[in-house]
Structure 1
């Protein structure tokens, strides 16, 4: 069996408050028992090949503990036996437990921070999208406002043209009515002239006939006088 990592440990039995060295031969993910931590106070993470010091806290309960190591080659558990140390100062134990609790809080806060950072990134993206949308809507609103102004101007022009045409129509109607009156008057005058002409023709014929009669009488008188003499 090919070992995934080479763990150089001084002893597999480590006392409370003790430490040991862990040597990795390749890139690996290491997860310690919650009561153990590296010098950077972390109990898990991805590590490059090299030597790492693992500290066993005073608050670590005696017994068998496991260290999980994962790499591209596979996974392996390393067994560590924690031995009880007699006459350990109670304050140290409490401090170690507090350190473990604080480290757990740090991990929780780190996860929360990462979540909040991702949330901020999402919100920033949404904010950018909303800004772009707002900009697009503002441009569209300006375009619609411009079209509305143009439509209002066209409407005003059409209203003015309609008013002019209505006034012109009123004038033409008045002219038409006046023309009709003049036409009726002309018809009346023509009728009157027709009557006058008819009467004139009658009197003309009368006087014509009267003149002929007068000439006939004169001719008769003249002839009678000629016969007498």
Structure 2
């Protein structure tokens, strides 16, 4: 009986400890190791994908923890303007990094929409990497710093993926297939067919009264010319 009471007392103390810690900590994570043991920590484990179980979070306009894509894109656009970057570039980076998943965690421990590594997040002063506004603001600021430092968008993207040290060491985009594919995909979507920046087909229409009209809609094209 004594052992049972002691066990219950210890269990209660542990629960109270984590509840108290949750009130003060920015974010508490829970993960289960390979032996089935449950762990609680305020640091994202490098070897495990963490799941947020508590901690303050900013709410969306709807007041829930669901973030609409339009809301996330608006945050990206605001951050881009804040740091004088093209919003389309920022959105392409987020699409590649996390596919707009605020709670994404990579195998290497990168977190959130812009996949900030724990060390990078700490340097940038990020308290909750899973908060969309905080994550995007820090990620865009970091990307802006890289662009200013290297003076080239492609090199900056390579540094965002592989780290600034690798770009400096090789004097450009490192010969890593992952990094080269990363830069190639983002630049293609940013400057190529993946954006509205591609050249639209313009049609020339001659109306029955001889009026010439140019349009990007093929609705009136029957028997007309185009270029």
- The TM-score normalised by the length of structure 1 is 0.21
Say which one has the larger Rg: 1
- The TM-score normalised by the length of structure 2 is 0.21
Q: Compare relative contact order (CA 8 Å, sep 6+) and give the higher one, 1 or 2.
A: 1
Which has more helix, going by share of residues?
1
